[in-house]
Structure 1
Amino acid sequence: MISGNIITLNEEKNIFDCITSMKKVCDEIIVVDSGSSDNTIKIAEELGAQVIKQPYLGDGIQKNVALKYAKHDWVLSLDADERLTQKMIDSIKKINLNQSPYDAYSFRRQNMIGSRWIKHCGWYPDRCIRLYNSKKTRFANVKQHAKVETKNIKDINADIIHYSFRNIGELFAKPGRNFSGRAAKIMYAKGKRANVFSPFTHGLNAFIRKYIFQRGFLGGVDGFTVSLSSAVNSYLKYAKLLEYQRDTSVTEQDDFNNIW
């Protein structure tokens, strides 16, 4: 028996398909919502999910909230924009979790832009642990890029689908709006500092890593676009960090006690 776990904020466009996908292997779904103002909660409840309202605490901490309410030891955690493929559903059903010697199972992840599967730039197989025994492990209690903490893992050769971005415009808009600004605030709060060359060198390194070493050049236009987006994100992160150092009026505008 498996408990499903989803964290949400204004995911009315995704939550129906995510829960429907998870219900094929989970006998309960727990949605931890951080203040949705759309129909996310209504849709989730209509599908039979238990909704827990919790202001956002950061990635790993938020994902662990559901463990206090889960009926089962084994937990399947997906983001709202992720889905199980039929092959993944079949693979999970074949596992005897009651006698499993493993703490967790890892999945491959297909990251998408629109309906296009991005196979290069480090976007595939992009293995991630999403099915785990909560009595033995859980997500790290960190606020960013949390992972399940265990080395006793079994790899499943099946995929989940991640609808990462609806289009190229969103690919470029999200780094500027969310990721780079948050990362810059975290770095500044931790005492990290940049110099005038940092934005350029980090941006260039990000592009080279994605396009050359992670073979983005094999992905045509999408490979180049993803590599360029990574460069822009890295450039903006260090440019914003440098701005905090150079311009006290900007630093005073931001609340560093409310990064999340």
Structure 2
Amino acid sequence: MSENHHNTCSKLPISVFIVTLNEAKFIEKTLNSVRQCAEVIIVDSGSTDGTVEIATRLGAKVIYNPWQGYAKQKQIAMEHCHFDWVLNLDGDEELTSSALEALCHAMENDSHSAVRLKRIDRFIGRFPSEWVKKPNNVRFYKKRDACFDKDKLVHESAHVKGDELYLQQHFLHYGYDDIDTLDAKYNTYSTLRAEEKVVQGKCYSLLKLLAIFPLTFIKEYILCRFFLFGVRGFIKSMMAAHYAFLKEAKLYERNQKSNNKALR
């Protein structure tokens, strides 16, 4: 990045918003990656590990709000932002310098309402090779065109009116680095997703229950090329397949409990 462009980006009119709960392990890395942005808003739901102290020391505005769910917390955080362009990160993510530069250009061109970036997940101490397919997420958008679906319990993402720009630049995610943490997250997420489906009136499918594990493994390991990530790729693909299975199994469980109540 050139010195002139660096100086321009150092005062970019961008609001970064982050939802946190005990993110002391990575929050400094996250905040340092967006120190060129003009505003950083953190909505914390009761951290006890020093997250708030670190964020305050690094110049972020910290707002306490009791946990209301992922989507509701992010909507509240976004509403506190003052600039037209907003960037959403989690407290275990890091924006790369090349991604920041690309976001600068996107904002200057002003031809899209939202920007998608690739996400690279670290797993067991390493990031996958460039040949492994990466997920992409909408993280940069115009505040006035965006909102979060407050009924969404998990895997929340802003709904943005207007065109999206897909970029090859990426941000780094550290929150899936070890098996215990990823397994715990998948367990929580699968419960929330099953509850979400019940609210939507969805019923389990025996065919999906039988097929979801092998199909997800094939998708991750072969189609997304995680076989190029060695043993880590095999483990991660198996865990992704198990997560997909858990969502369907928990939906089945909830359907059965509802049927049993109806028969009483």
Same structural fold, with TM-score higher than 0.5 when normalized by the shorter chain: yes
Which residue of structure 2 lines up, in the alignment, with residue 215 of structure 1? 225
Q: Say yes or no: does 1:233 pair with 2:232.
A: no
User: CA, structure 1 residues 184+129, in 2 after alignment: closer, same or farther (shift >3 Å)?
Assistant: closer
Alpha-carbon separation, structure 2, partners of 1:146 and 1:208: 25
Q: What letter corresponds to residue 32 of structure 2 in structure 1?
A: T
User: CA, structure 1 residues 211+103, in 2 after alignment: closer, same or farther (shift >3 Å)?
Assistant: same
Q: 2:141 aligns with which of 132, 139, 151?
A: 132
User: CA, structure 1 residues 108+200, in 2 after alignment: closer, same or farther (shift >3 Å)?
Assistant: same
User: CA, structure 1 residues 142+120, in 2 after alignment: closer, same or farther (shift >3 Å)?
Assistant: farther
* Residue 39 (structure 1) shift: 1.6
Alpha-carbon separation, structure 1, partners of 2:155 and 2:55: 25
Structure 2: runs of 5 or more not aligned: 1-12
Aligned Cα root-mean-square deviation (Å): 2.7
Q: 1:113 aligns with which of 115, 123, 127?
A: 123
Alpha-carbon separation, structure 2, partners of 1:78 and 1:154: 18
* Residue 102 (structure 1) shift: 1.9
Which residue of structure 2 lines up, in the alignment, with residue 201 of structure 1? 211
Q: Indicate the larger mover: 78-87 or 107-116.
A: 107-116
Alpha-carbon separation, structure 1, partners of 2:39 and 2:194: 38
Q: What letter corresponds to residue 70 of structure 1 in structure 2?
A: C
Q: Is the 8 A contact 2:133 2:224 kept in 1?
A: no
Which residue of structure 1 lines up, in the alignment, with residue 20 of structure 2? 8
Greater per-residue helix proportion = 2
Q: What letter corresponds to residue 29 of structure 2 in structure 1?
A: D
* Residue 239 (structure 1) shift: 2.3
Alpha-carbon separation, structure 2, partners of 1:99 and 1:215: 34
Instruction: String of CA shifts for 1:157-209, please: whole Å, max 9, x gaps.
Output: 32211113122333333323x11222222223333333666533222222222
Instruction: String of CA shifts for 1:15-50, please: whole Å, max 9, x gaps.
Output: 1111111113x1111001122232211221122211
Q: Within 5 A, what are the aligned runs for 1:1-260?
A: 1-24=13-36, 26-93=37-104, 95=105, 97=107, 100-119=110-129, 124-143=133-152, 144-148=154-158, 149-176=160-187, 178-194=188-204, 198-246=208-256
Instruction: String of CA shifts for 1:93-119, please: whole Å, max 9, x gaps.
Output: 4x2736622212222221111431135
Alpha-carbon separation, structure 1, partners of 2:257 and 2:139: 42
Give the TM-score of the pair, scaled to structure 2: 0.81
Which residue of structure 2 lines up, in the alignment, with residue 257 of structure 1? none
Task: Specify the SS of the correspondent of 2:43.
Answer: strand
Instruction: String of CA shifts for 1:56-88, please: whole Å, max 9, x gaps.
Output: 333333222123322211111111111011222
Q: Is the 8 A contact 2:124 2:232 kept in 1?
A: no
Task: Specify the SS of the correspondent of 1:165.
Answer: coil
Alpha-carbon separation, structure 1, partners of 2:208 and 2:92: 33
Q: What letter corresponds to residue 4 of structure 1 in structure 2?
A: V
Aligned residues: 246
* Residue 238 (structure 1) shift: 2.3
Q: What letter corresponds to residue 65 of structure 2 in structure 1?
A: Q
Structure 1: runs of 5 or more not aligned: 252-260
Task: Specify the SS of the correspondent of 2:66.
Answer: coil
Q: Indicate the larger mover: 63-72 or 28-37.
A: 63-72
Instruction: String of CA shifts for 1:217-260, please: whole Å, max 9, x gaps.
Output: 33321221122101211222222232334457x99xxxxxxxxx
Alpha-carbon separation, structure 1, partners of 2:214 and 2:239: 11
Alpha-carbon separation, structure 2, partners of 1:20 and 1:46: 11
Give the TM-score of the pair, scaled to structure 1: 0.82
Q: What letter corresponds to residue 242 of structure 2 in structure 1?
A: V
